[in-house]
């Protein structure tokens, strides 16, 4: 049945007939038990409904499917206890591997699972290459891209609307903005930062209000995510400041509504799908190469999507609604 070509045609047909008649469905867990192999892997993320992870999941599922693997989706709700519960479950289920964006200090359990023979790949989080494979996106470079775009016309200040620095993304994107400023030979005082407690629309509105009190005529604002940016543009509109003529605004993440906002938003896009694909490919390699496998770190480059919230850098090209992509994703 599993090697249809190694069997006489007549027998094959006879078997097939019986399969159809009895409506036979093979018992996969039994097969896996016997063969000691499984083609099931898991993706564990804080929130599968988050567009970022949803797209990562698509990529991972597609790549896994190509290699004959299936992916089960686990959403830990950002709760370390739930995450650990899922990992325990997956361990018991004897999945062949796990793709994970850990929220808790999962490494302990993950190390044990790996010692059991379960492959592990970190997603959107760099891991020590000696321990696990990992795929991530270069957030520092993303911040740099935003800063370079905003400062290209000679603005003397760059406002950064940022979330909690405890989030690696926020810290990295700020570092990138700083680096961009440095590269252009501007003083570090060019960067003026306003911090929010959470990264949603309303805090963005409030941050913009604070900003205008301190800096009545900002030229350029970099928000470390799109929701903040939408909040900022909303307040600017209310205050009668026109975007992009008076202020240019750049967001981050390129979520779906960035293109659909009242003023379509220039943003930094992360290669989410590719992130998922690559993670799954690494995982399958890890699984199939066994102990011989050498872990590796892959870092993707983000790229700029220019829309109406910034002015055309190259006025001879029409800014299309879906956004022109500048730069190319580069696995490193």
Partner DNA sequence: ATGAAAGCGCTAACAC
Partner DNA sequence: GTGTTAGCGCTTTCAT
Residue 257 interacting partner from DNA, a copy of itself, none (CB closer than 5 to 8 Å by kind): a copy of itself
**Nearest distance from residue 15's CB to DNA, in Å?**
9
Stretch binding a copy of itself (CB under 8 A), from 43-51, 127-135, 146-154, 159-167: 43-51
Q: Report the nearest approach of DNA to the CB of residue 19 (Å).
A: 10
Dihedral of CA atoms 10, 16, 21, 25 in degrees, nearest 10, equals 160
Task: Please return the burial class of 26, using the count of CB atoms within 10 Å of its CB with bins 0-12, 13-18 and 19+.
Answer: exposed
Using alpha carbons only, what angle is made at residue 46 by residues 42 and 49, rounded to the nearest 5 degrees?
A: 90
Among positions 224-283, residues that touch a copy of itself (CB under 8 A) are 234, 257, 260, 262
332 binds, among a copy of itself, DNA, none (CB under 5 to 8 A by kind): none
Backbone angles phi, psi at 151, to 5 degrees: -95, 0
**What is the pairing mode between strands 303-306 and 324-326?**
antiparallel
- Segments in the chain forming alpha helices (H): 9-22, 28-35, 51-66, 80-92, 107-116, 139-151, 168-183, 201-214, 226-238, 256-260, 272-289
Supply the DSSP symbol for 189: G
Could you say whether residue 130 binds DNA (CB under 7 A)?
A: no
Identify what 73 binds: a copy of itself, DNA, none; CB under 5 to 8 Å per kind: a copy of itself
Q: Find which of DNA, a copy of itself, none residue 37 binds, CB within 5 to 8 Å per kind.
A: DNA
262 binds, among DNA, a copy of itself, none (CB under 5 to 8 A by kind): a copy of itself
- Considering only residues 75, 220, 278, 309, which one is a binding residue for a copy of itself as defined by CB under 8 A? 75
Count CB-CB contacts under 10 A for residue 116.
Answer: 9
Do 213 and 239 touch, CB atoms closer than 8 A?
A: no
Query: Which residues within the stretch 5-64 sit at the binding site for DNA (CB under 7 A)?
Result: 6-8, 10-11, 26-27, 30-31, 33-37
Residues that bind a copy of itself (CB under 8 A): 23, 25-30, 32-33, 48-49, 51, 54, 57-58, 61, 70, 72-75, 77, 88-89, 91-94, 112, 115-116, 200-202, 234, 257, 260, 262
Residues that bind DNA (CB under 7 A): 1-2, 6-8, 10-11, 26-27, 30-31, 33-37
């Amino acid at each position: 049945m599993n090697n249809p070509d190694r069997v006489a045609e007549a027998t094959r047909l006879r078997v097939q007939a019986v399969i159809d008649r009895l409506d036979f469905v093979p018992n996969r867990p039994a097969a896996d038990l016997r063969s000691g192999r499984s083609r099931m892997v898991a993706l564990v993320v804080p929130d599968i409904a988050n567009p970022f992870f949803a797209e990562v999941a698509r990529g991972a599922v597609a790549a896994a499917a190509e290699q004959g693997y299936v992916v089960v989706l686990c959403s830990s709700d950002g709760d370390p206890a739930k995450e650990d519960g899922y990992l325990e479950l997956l361990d018991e289920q004897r999945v062949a591997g796990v793709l994970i964006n850990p929220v808790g200090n999962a490494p302990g359990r993950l190390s044990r699972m790996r010692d059991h023979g379960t492959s592990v790949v970190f997603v959107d989080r760099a891991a020590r290459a000696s321990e696990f494979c990992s795929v991530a996106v270069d957030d520092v470079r993303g911040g740099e891209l935003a800063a370079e775009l905003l400062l290209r016309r000679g603005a003397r200040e760059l406002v950064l609307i940022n979330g909690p620095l405890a989030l690696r993304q926020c810290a990295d994107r700020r570092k990138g903005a700083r680096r961009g400023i440095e590269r252009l030979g501007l003083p570090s005082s060019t960067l003026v930062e306003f911090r929010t407690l959470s990264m949603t629309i309303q805090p963005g509105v409030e941050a913009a209000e604070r900003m205008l009190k301190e800096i009545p005529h900002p030229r350029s604002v970099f928000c470390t995510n799109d929701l903040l940016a939408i909040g900022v543009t909303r307040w600017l509109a209310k205050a009668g400041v026109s975007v992009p003529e008076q202020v240019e605004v750049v967001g981050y993440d390129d979520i779906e509504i960035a293109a659909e906002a009242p003023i379509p938003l220039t943003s930094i896009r992360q290669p989410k799908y590719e992130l998922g694909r690559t993670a799954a490919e690494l995982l399958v390699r890890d699984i199939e190469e066994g102990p011989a496998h050498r872990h590796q770190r892959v870092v993707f480059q983000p790229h700029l999507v220019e829309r109406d919230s910034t002015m055309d850098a190259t006025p001879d090209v029409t800014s299309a609604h879906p956004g022109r992509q500048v730069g190319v994703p580069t696995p490193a």
